[in-house]
Amino acid sequence: MSEATLPSQAKVVIVGGGVMGVSLLYHLALEGWTDVLLIEKGELTSGSTWHAAGQCPSFIADYNMAKIHDHGIQLYPKLEELTGQYVSWHGCGGIRFALKQSEVEWFHRVASVGKLIGFDCEIIDPAKIRQLNPHVNTDGVLAGAWTVNDGHVDPAGITQAMAKGARNLGAKIITHNRVIDINQKKSGDWEIVTERGNIQCNMVVNAAGCYARQVSQMVGTDTPITNMKHTYIVTESVPEFMEQDDEMPVMRDPYPSAYYRQEQKSALIGIYETANSEECWTHRDGWPEWISENELFNPDFDNLLPFIERVMQRIPMWEELSIKRVVCGAIPHTPDGNPCLGPAAGLRNFWHCNGASIGIAAGAGSGKYLAQWMIYGDAEINMAGVDPRRFGQFAPGTYTKAKSHQDYEHMYALHLPGEERPAARKARITPLYDRLLEQGCVYTEANGWERPKWFSPDGRKEEPGFQHNNIFQIIAEECEAVRQRVGLLDLSSFAKYDVTGKDARHLLNRISANRMSPRTGGISLTHYLSESGRISGESTITRLGDEHYYVLSGAVAEDRDFDTLQHGILENEDVQVQNISDDYGVLVLAGPRARDVLEKLTDTDLSNQNFRWLTGKEISVAGFPVRALRVNYVGELGWELHVPMDNLLPVYDALWATGQEFDIANFGTYAVNSMRMEKGYKGWGSELSNEITMVEAGLMRFFADGKQDFTGKDATLKVLNEGVSQQIVYLDVNSKDCDISGGEPVFAEGSLVGITTSGGYGHTTRKSLGFAYVDPEYAPPGTQLSVELLGKQYDALVISDPVWDPQATRSRTDATE
Ligand SMILES: Cc1cc2nc3c(=O)[nH]c(=O)nc-3n(C[C@H](O)[C@H](O)[C@H](O)COP(=O)(O)OP(=O)(O)OC[C@H]3O[C@@H](n4cnc5c(N)ncnc54)[C@H](O)[C@@H]3O)c2cc1C
């Protein structure tokens, strides 16, 4: 129904009435924001939502995505009671098959996540699988992950129920009205131009599903989605189902790359083709026409048939059945398969709620946590993995297409730690790419950048897996080179900004927690906070001059921190922020002989007296201008050399040639992780996230209390006064063959007391190390805890000091060892 009058204004306008937009509307209303209007060009659910198969799996290994899914599984069975609208929830559970040992290990990881979140994931043998589903042939199946609490639901039913719930609370929905254009006004508010008139609002949300790119382009931006074709078939009635009351669980099976289940008394089979996957609307470069509603496509049955045949091998009783219905529809897909939930890069008060490829399962949680972010400035889960700004401006288009196909085709394939996938690589490379490749470099990717992960001395390839593997010793040798001699690393993937102007210092002091150095050349490590004091970013900032600061952030924070800087500028302030990430390359030269190498290539006095730890200077290296910063993430004597990209190769070559005398070695990010764990350095995105404050993260030494007001100051002080409910701990884990990777449960005397954030093996100290957030009573050093890794419990001792060089003398040294 098209509700009569179009209001002339609203606090928030949501564009798109699929499960994602409607869920956001409902959750905003539940939180008290009812002056919200949703506009849909057709009927609600007439995009991707209406034809979805409706499965809601809780089998998710990523803690934050699992929280998003879990909310749906909790909410959907209750929606009818909450809203009065009929919802058909089928709580039949699900079983995922493991065909390889590594998949069984992965199941244990998921089961651990289940313990943290509260969903059941039991690892069962083939006999138990057959007990739960007597029709299935378990040939080749090693184990099943039995998630008893999940199921499937009617997608239109839950969407209509959430719409009713939202309306009951006062939110509004207008259907059959297309948003034609969106303009930002001078005041910062938005004008939404629709077929039936204009609406003024403070915030806009792009929940346009397959049209998300078109809606983004109305405001001069873009969105990294590709619209993939996906097919399921429904058969005629299955005689055996007619005779049974129990519904068979949803089966998820890598062998046919398919899900299959009971749909009333029929069989429903959905295929994720592992090759030749297709996009929709290719004649229009993937763009749907505005008139498209409830649109279906012709599937390529030649491509689907081999997968369907495999399903028939699994359930032979389905072999002779004819097909009653074929549903081939469009799914929006992002490069990493996660939705885009959060602010649009470069814009104020323009939000994304799109890119959901499993949007029925993720719809409720997406709406809940995005609503929290919009209303309170933070969500209660770590949103870094769904923040739309995790993809740079380069991503929409070719890169996203290639990644989306790859992700779609791997829907039922385990992505093992260490596994590199080939699609859309080399999106951003430095002039060193081939030079390092010649030396055995194995690259990994961060925000499109290829960056060295490790160097293969003998052409061997990594055998990816959860346990220590065939390159363990090689990483140990890279660490040894840095700890004993000198190492060189291309870390150009840093996000880099020049912040200049008379008010540059005021800006940086106002938007971040630490004090900018009053001295030219001074370096500050500082954190950006939300109004509620949660950590939203981290930068290393060097004062290059009175009106010139050089700001460095992590690769994936490039767009996000640019917004933080740019949006922090007040009217009439004289500040310019320039993103120079592509203009500068970065070489990390670190190790006790770093000074010996560098001083042969520069006239600058590199002694402690002239060039102290945590200072930076513009110097000449091998005749080229370089911003040299005496800082690093590995805890050794060394410099980060920031070199104009065009000169990166000659500077690298000069360092490499000069370093031969000192037995210089290349190293990669695996070695960096090992060494930063030994130094107890925390990482943004894992230890430092929007869930926590500097108090919980143990970062108060970077909190400049005496400074002028800055964002998040009062909220942080309040937390400091009132106390915290969780606290970071540094753990020494008694494990020989695997390490903490993040998202694992932490126990004290058998009770769940916390969650790990990241970890790794310290090759120099031969310790397995990690970080976790735990109840404060378990945080004192010396507390004996245990962590669950791959289904086993390992003792984990809370330690206080870095296990390597606790006094930090090595990085500050004046001597060559
Ligand atoms: C065959 C198939 C099976 C699937 N099975 C499952 C499953 O089992 N489980 C699961 O979780 N997911 C499944 N999915 C995926 C799921 O359908 C999508 O992830 C989900 O529907 C996306 O919801 P959405 O709200 O983002 O997009 P949509 O439902 O497409 O909603 C977007 C809406 O925006 C409207 N719109 C766009 N532009 C404008 C404009 N300018 N003005 C006004 N309105 C506009 C559109 O008309 C549309 O209604 C399946 C998908 C397919 C194709």
Please tell me the chain's helix, strand, coil percentages from 3-state DSSP, rounded to the nearest 5. Answer: 30, 30, 40
Any atom of ligand 1 within 6 Å of the Cβ of 179: yes
Residue located via tokens 């098959």: 97
Distance 156 CA to ligand 1 centre (A): 10
Q: Report the nearest-CA residue for atom 38 of ligand 1.
A: 208
| Helix, strand, or coil (residue 193) | strand
Angle among Cα 336, 337, 340 to the nearest 5 degrees reads: 90
Any atom of ligand 1 within 6 Å of the Cβ of 216: no
pLDDT of 708 = 85
Any atom of ligand 1 within 6 Å of the Cβ of 354: yes
Distance 296 CA to ligand 1 centre (A): 12
Any atom of ligand 1 within 6 Å of the Cβ of 384: no
Of 37, 179, 331, the one to substitute when testing ligand 1's pocket (max ligand atoms within 8 A of C-beta) is: 331
Any atom of ligand 1 within 6 Å of the Cβ of 359: yes
pLDDT of 814 = 80
Of 46, 49, 352, the one to substitute when testing ligand 1's pocket (max ligand atoms within 8 A of C-beta) is: 49
Any atom of ligand 1 within 6 Å of the Cβ of 769: no
Euclidean distance between CA atoms 196 and 38, whole angstroms = 14
Residue type, 670: Y
Euclidean distance between CA atoms 808 and 754, whole angstroms = 29
- pLDDT, tens digit (0-9, with 9 covering 90-100), for 709-740: 999 999 999 999 999 999 999 999 999 999 99
Euclidean distance between CA atoms 445 and 455, whole angstroms = 15
- Closest ligand 1 atom, CA of 44? 49
Mean pLDDT calculated for residue range 131-151: 97
Distance 791 CA to ligand 1 centre (A): 36
Any atom of ligand 1 within 6 Å of the Cβ of 392: no
Q: Quick check: 495 and 679 in contact, CB under 8 A? A: no
Residues forming beta bridges with residue 587, ordered by sequence position: 490, 641
Distance 154 CA to ligand 1 centre (A): 13
Percent of the chain clearing pLDDT 90 (strictly above): 98
Phi, psi of 744 (to 5 degrees): -100, 150
Q: Report the nearest-CA residue for atom 48 of ligand 1.
A: 47
- At 793, the pLDDT band (50, 70, 90 cuts) reads very high
Mean pLDDT calculated for residue range 304-313: 98
359-376 and 155-169 helices cross at what angle (nearest 10)? 20
Euclidean distance between CA atoms 150 and 55, whole angstroms = 8
Closest by alpha carbon to 758, among 682, 678, 667? 682
Any atom of ligand 1 within 6 Å of the Cβ of 684: no
Please give the C-alpha separations between residue 694 and each of 457, 687, 689, in angstroms, as whole numbers: 41, 10, 10
Phi, psi of 175 (to 5 degrees): -105, 170
Euclidean distance between CA atoms 723 and 53, whole angstroms = 46
- Closest ligand 1 atom, CA of 357? 19
Any atom of ligand 1 within 6 Å of the Cβ of 53: yes
Any atom of ligand 1 within 6 Å of the Cβ of 20: yes
- pLDDT, tens digit (0-9, with 9 covering 90-100), for 170-208: 999 999 999 999 999 999 999 999 999 999 999 999 999
Any atom of ligand 1 within 6 Å of the Cβ of 798: no
Q: Tell me the DSSP string of 467-535.
A: S--TTHHHHHHHHHHHHHS-EEEE-TTSEEEEEESTTHHHHHHHHBSSPPPSSTTBEEEEEEE-TTSBE
Distance 207 CA to ligand 1 centre (A): 9
Residue type, 52: A
Euclidean distance between CA atoms 424 and 744, whole angstroms = 31
Mean pLDDT calculated for residue range 26-43: 98
Beta strand extents in 615-744 (DSSP E only) = 616-621, 624-629, 638-644, 665-666, 727-733
- At 816, the pLDDT band (50, 70, 90 cuts) reads low
Of 3, 45, 48, 50, the one to substitute when testing ligand 1's pocket (max ligand atoms within 8 A of C-beta) is: 48
Any atom of ligand 1 within 6 Å of the Cβ of 641: no
Any atom of ligand 1 within 6 Å of the Cβ of 178: yes
Any atom of ligand 1 within 6 Å of the Cβ of 329: yes
Euclidean distance between CA atoms 226 and 409, whole angstroms = 13
Token output for 415: 């992505």
Q: What is the 3-state secondary structure (H, E, C) of 315-369?
A: CHHHCCCCEEEEEEEEEEECCCCCCEEEECCCCCCEEEEECCCCHHHHHHHHHHH
Any atom of ligand 1 within 6 Å of the Cβ of 272: no
pLDDT of 583 = 98
Q: Quick check: 556 and 387 in contact, CB under 8 A? A: no
Distance 18 CA to ligand 1 centre (A): 5
Any atom of ligand 1 within 6 Å of the Cβ of 163: no
pLDDT of 5 = 87
Over 60: is that where the pLDDT of 498 sits?
yes
Euclidean distance between CA atoms 743 and 710, whole angstroms = 32
Distance 358 CA to ligand 1 centre (A): 9
Q: Quick check: 585 and 431 in contact, CB under 8 A? A: yes
Percent of the chain clearing pLDDT 70 (strictly above): 99
Distance 714 CA to ligand 1 centre (A): 41
Distance 354 CA to ligand 1 centre (A): 9
Phi, psi of 54 (to 5 degrees): 85, 10
Please give the C-alpha separations between residue 279 and each of 118, 326, 603, in angstroms, as whole numbers: 37, 17, 58
- Closest ligand 1 atom, CA of 39? 43
Token output for 421: 């996938």
Closest by alpha carbon to 13, among 205, 185, 178? 205
Q: Report the nearest-CA residue for atom 53 of ligand 1.
A: 329
Instruction: Give the contacts of 575 (CB within 8 A, at least 6 positions apart).
Output: 499, 500, 501, 502, 503, 504, 506, 507, 569
Q: Strand pairing of 624-629 and 751-762? A: unpaired
Token output for 18: 């699929």
Biggest CA–CA distance in the chain, Å, is 88
Any atom of ligand 1 within 6 Å of the Cβ of 208: yes
Q: Report the nearest-CA residue for atom 52 of ligand 1.
A: 52
Helices (H) and strands (E) in the chain, counts: 19, 38
Q: Report the nearest-CA residue for atom 27 of ligand 1.
A: 209
- Closest ligand 1 atom, CA of 210? 30
pLDDT of 813 = 84
Phi, psi of 337 (to 5 degrees): 80, -5
Residue 746 class from Cβ within 10 Å (0-12 exposed, 13-18 middle, 19+ buried)?
buried
> Please, what is the end-to-end C-alpha distance for the chain in angstroms?
78
Residues forming beta bridges with residue 639, ordered by sequence position: 589
Distance 166 CA to ligand 1 centre (A): 19
Of 25, 217, 297, 360, the one to substitute when testing ligand 1's pocket (max ligand atoms within 8 A of C-beta) is: 360
Residue type, 678: E
- Indicate the average pLDDT of the chain: 97
Phi, psi of 414 (to 5 degrees): -75, 130
Distance 175 CA to ligand 1 centre (A): 15
Any atom of ligand 1 within 6 Å of the Cβ of 452: no
Euclidean distance between CA atoms 450 and 444, whole angstroms = 6
Any atom of ligand 1 within 6 Å of the Cβ of 673: no
Q: Report the nearest-CA residue for atom 41 of ligand 1.
A: 179
Residue 186 class from Cβ within 10 Å (0-12 exposed, 13-18 middle, 19+ buried)?
exposed
Q: Quick check: 310 and 255 in contact, CB under 8 A? A: yes
Any atom of ligand 1 within 6 Å of the Cβ of 18: yes
- pLDDT, tens digit (0-9, with 9 covering 90-100), for 60-104: 999 999 999 999 999 999 999 999 999 999 999 999 999 999 999
pLDDT of 817 = 46
| Helix, strand, or coil (residue 537) | strand
Distance 57 CA to ligand 1 centre (A): 17
Residue 97 class from Cβ within 10 Å (0-12 exposed, 13-18 middle, 19+ buried)?
buried
Euclidean distance between CA atoms 239 and 320, whole angstroms = 11
Distance 70 CA to ligand 1 centre (A): 20
Over 50: is that where the pLDDT of 1 sits?
no
- Closest ligand 1 atom, CA of 293? 47
Residue 136 class from Cβ within 10 Å (0-12 exposed, 13-18 middle, 19+ buried)?
buried
Euclidean distance between CA atoms 309 and 320, whole angstroms = 11
Q: Quick check: 108 and 115 in contact, CB under 8 A? A: no
Q: Report the nearest-CA residue for atom 19 of ligand 1.
A: 359
Any atom of ligand 1 within 6 Å of the Cβ of 51: yes
Task: Count CB neighbours of 565 within 10 A.
Answer: 25
Over 50: is that where the pLDDT of 640 sits?
yes
pLDDT of 747 = 98
Euclidean distance between CA atoms 192 and 182, whole angstroms = 5
pLDDT of 457 = 97
Angle among Cα 752, 754, 759 to the nearest 5 degrees reads: 125
CA 500 to mean position of chain CA atoms = 31
Calculated CA dihedral for residues 638, 644, 647, 653, nearest 10 degrees: 20
Distance 237 CA to ligand 1 centre (A): 28
